[in-house]
Amino acid sequence: MNPTTSVETVEQGFSPQSLKKLPYSTVLTLAYQSLGVVYGDLSTSPLYVYKTAFSGKLSLHENDEEVYGVLSFIFWTLTLIPLFKYIFIVMSADDNGEGGIFALYSLLCRHARLSILPNQQASDENLSAYGMEGSADTWQSSALKSFFEKHPNYRNGLLVFVLLGTCMAIGDGVLTPAISVLSAVSGIRVKVTDLHQNYVVVISCVILVGLFSLQHHGTHKVAFLFAPIVTAWLLCISAIGIYNIIQWNPCIYRALSPFYMFRFLRSTGVEGWVSLGGVVLAITGAETMFADLGHFSPLSIKITFTFLVYPCLVLAYMGEAAFLSRHHEDIQRSFYKAIPEPVFWPVFIIATMAAVVGSQAVISATFSMVGQCCALNCFPRVKIVHTSKKIYGQIYIPEINWILMCLCLAVTIGLRDTNMMGHAYGLAVTTVMFVTTCLMCMVMIIVWKQSIITCVAFLMFFGSIELLYISASFVKVPEGGWIPLALSLIFMGIMYVWNYGTLKKHQFDIENKVSMKRIVALGPSLGMVRVPGIGLVYTNLVTGVPAVFGHFVTNLPAFHQVLVFVCVKSVQVPYVGERERFLVGRVGPKDYGMFRCIVRYGYKDLQQENYDFENKLVDMIIKFVELEGEECLTSPVTKASRERETVDGDSFDLPRPMFSYPNDGLNIVQSLSSTQAVKEENGVAENFPCREESAQIMRARETGLAYILGHSYAKANKSSSFLKRFAINVVYAFLCKNSRGPDVVLNVPHTSLLEVGMVYYV
């Protein structure tokens, strides 16, 4: 196997077809590498599970009912949620190899027309990643689709539900580093008993500041250490677990019987139910297995969890329970107290390193989720830095990184107690899992076409378990559980207001676009002087002439010889291949020199990075002109099928094929010169309209490009409600002012930028 293959395939993901062809050596390599990325959070849970579960009024009696009951709950929770739900069921619902809440929502949007993106086209369904093939609709799937089509408010409600899960997952990026690092560092007090808790907090904060300060370097520079650290950690805790079982209570295996769960609840009552908010911390990080599916193959993740992570965690929890059954007084320090004396310091060091690894994985996942939200118009535009030139998908967002660091330090300093952090953490984790369960149920009906009985059984079984843990976590809201709720409400408010304002802006653009009849009436000169060069008019519209163009020509007496209306849009798929990226067509008659170029990206694509976007765009237009003038070419070219674009009653040709940037290394001039050589060699006449137009575009390109962007200001109508006026005039205006402008996102050079100010009312 090529040594670089594993790294590239890990980060770029796989198509469903390629997953079936992976050799066993590659699968095993991926399984090993997934340890450092996927399981850091899940594997460090033993640091604080028992401590948090017994942090309330739950007291240990002389018998071991509580210890056995908590162990039984931990074992069956680990078995039912991560193993049965995620490994055997949820991981099969990938979106072209991608997983997570957005992947499930993307599947539903494509199959049930739930898309939140306003500029979708029928031609988008021709994308190879769209994947609409499948069996015929059942009456259940048809009924559910019809329900959402007839009730737009429920579509908005589903969006809010998805945003809730996303915001809770982002909250994990705050809570995971805090609780993991503080729990690991707290172990030092077992040996240094007179060390004050303040020093533990300070040490934890220093580690956290260092962790967030290194994010801009990217994880690829230290990623080779992650898998060995997590592997060593899992082997350590499983070996210590076996030692404690043999040393303290060889009969602890009896607690694996579900009978002990019922005895636990019966004997402890309400206090036992409340303690489940700590038990659920045993499965923190389970959602990461599905969220990071695109970086690995499903088989590799299944192998790693089933044959290494799961048995190691079970042995670790059994060993700690065996120790507790003989040392009730050590419940708040049970993990470190259970470590044999000779290996304490090596395990302490590995535990701290594993906590950092687990935190790193969650932080990186937060960056990825925010990037997806930006692509789907659900989050203000932020700076996205790609930290690796070789590894696709590793990003760093400075604004989010420093916000996370400040929030994480505030939680660490403010709470100072892993028990209170655990209460907050449990609520965030269980909410994300419940959102996944509900979306998964809809996917089973709409996409998989399963029977309603199967889907309801899935929802009732796993949903009831998760609701049980959510209810237990809600009791702890006053004791720390309010933190994820507050963070989620803030992030949800930002996301929903941004999405609402963006949709209203698009609606304004549609309602105020320039009439094509008016453009045609102006003639080829558009009623003004046409100066040399190419004008790129950026717009959100995929059809019609944007209002910003009409506003521009009203105030300036000249415009460029070649006009290109560029629409950069996201499609409800994870990735769009380079050969399907561009969609090029004409606007108006041929002698107007007006084109439209639609540039499509998936929600996990890197927009306009690592290539010369302008040259590609111009090359696509020239290729379109050459194909359009097919009668000028002597080489056999398949005639492009056409669809008609109708704008204001007039139709214009728009090619259906997506013209991709040539992969043979030929630049624009070489392409034109080779075409000319072929024509002269075959004695073809000199007067080729297509060649003349191509040469004209090339000359315009050499003259220079100008970028025309609309700078819109949103204002609420005076008749709007107070809430709407506050959302638009205050919140949305603040977000627009402090987010990155479209010129920065699109990498537009300032020397060639023209901004057209407009005010629109919503």
State pLDDT tens for residues 321-372: 999 988 888 888 889 999 999 999 999 999 999 988 888 778 888 888 888 8
Q: Is the pLDDT of residue 411 over 50?
A: yes
Q: Provide the whole-model pTM.
A: 0.84
Least confident stretch, 127-131, 308-312, 720-724: 127-131
How high is the pLDDT of residue 560? 84
Instruction: State the pLDDT confidence band at 673, using cuts at 50, 70 and 90.
Output: very low
Which segment, 125-134, 298-307, 551-560, is predicted with the most confidence on average? 298-307
* pLDDT tens column, 259-284: 999 999 888 888 889 889 889 999 98
Least confident stretch, 182-186, 390-394, 672-676: 672-676
Instruction: State the pLDDT confidence band at 669, using cuts at 50, 70 and 90.
Output: very low
- How is 341-375 classified by DSSP, letter by letter? GGGHHHHHHHHHHHHHHHHHHHHHHHHHHHHHHHH
Instruction: State the pLDDT confidence band at 640, using cuts at 50, 70 and 90.
Output: very low
Q: Is the pLDDT of residue 654 over 50?
A: no
Residue 655 and residue 624: Cα distance in Å, rounded?
Answer: 8
Instruction: State the pLDDT confidence band at 568, using cuts at 50, 70 and 90.
Output: confident
Q: Is the pLDDT of residue 63 over 80?
A: no
650-671: average pLDDT? 36
Higher-pLDDT residue of 101 and 640 is 101
> Cβ(574)–Cβ(129) under 8 Å?
yes
How high is the pLDDT of residue 677? 43
Residue 437 and residue 307: Cα distance in Å, rounded?
Answer: 25
Q: Is the pLDDT of residue 641 over 70?
A: no
Q: Which amino acid is at 685?
A: A
Higher-pLDDT residue of 657 and 707 is 707
- How is 527-545 classified by DSSP, letter by letter? TSEEEEEEEEEE-S-SSSB
Q: Is the pLDDT of residue 701 over 50?
A: yes
Higher-pLDDT residue of 180 and 23 is 180
> Cβ(399)–Cβ(383) under 8 Å?
yes
The alpha helices in 416-527, defined as continuous H runs, are 418-446, 452-474, 482-511, 516-522
How high is the pLDDT of residue 660? 37
Least confident stretch, 33-47, 56-70, 98-112, 114-128: 56-70
How high is the pLDDT of residue 460? 96
Residue 717 and residue 705: Cα distance in Å, rounded?
Answer: 37
How high is the pLDDT of residue 404? 92
The alpha helices in 269-326, defined as continuous H runs, are 270-279, 286-291, 298-304, 310-324
Least confident stretch, 243-252, 334-343, 641-650: 641-650
676-705: average pLDDT? 67
In order of 82, 176, 279, 681, the CA distances from 469 in angstroms are 15, 18, 8, 77
* pLDDT tens column, 482-535: 888 899 999 999 999 998 888 888 888 888 887 777 777 766 766 677 888 999
The alpha helices in 667-721, defined as continuous H runs, are 668-681, 689-703
Instruction: State the pLDDT confidence band at 134, using cuts at 50, 70 and 90.
Output: low
Encode burial over 36-69: b for 16+ CB neighbours within 10 A, e otherwise.
Answer: bbbbbbbbbbbbbbbbbbbbbebeeeeebbbbbb
Q: Is the pLDDT of residue 705 over 50?
A: yes
Sequence-distant (≥ 6) Cβ neighbours of residue 84 within 8 angstroms: none
List the structure tokens of 656. 């259906």
Q: Is the pLDDT of residue 421 over 90?
A: no
- How is 238-261 classified by DSSP, letter by letter? HHHHHHHHHHH-GGGGGGGSTHHH
How high is the pLDDT of residue 645? 42
Q: What angle do CA 48, 51, 52 make, to 5 degrees?
A: 80
Q: In the predicted model, what is the mean pLDDT of the chain?
A: 81
How high is the pLDDT of residue 58? 66
Segment (H or E) for 566: strand 558-570
Radius of gyration for the alpha carbons in the chain, expressed in angstroms and rounded? 29
* DSSP summary character for residue 696: H
Instruction: State the pLDDT confidence band at 686, using cuts at 50, 70 and 90.
Output: very low
How high is the pLDDT of residue 430? 92
How high is the pLDDT of residue 388? 63
Encode burial over 397-422: b for 16+ CB neighbours within 10 A, e otherwise.
Answer: beebbebbbebbbebbeebebbbbbb
Residue 89 and residue 75: Cα distance in Å, rounded?
Answer: 19
How high is the pLDDT of residue 608? 57
Residue 508 and residue 598: Cα distance in Å, rounded?
Answer: 20
How high is the pLDDT of residue 9? 36
Instruction: State the pLDDT confidence band at 241, using cuts at 50, 70 and 90.
Output: very high
How high is the pLDDT of residue 630? 60
Sequence-distant (≥ 6) Cβ neighbours of residue 614 within 8 angstroms: 536, 705
Residue 529 and residue 557: Cα distance in Å, rounded?
Answer: 7
729-747: average pLDDT? 83
599-621: average pLDDT? 78
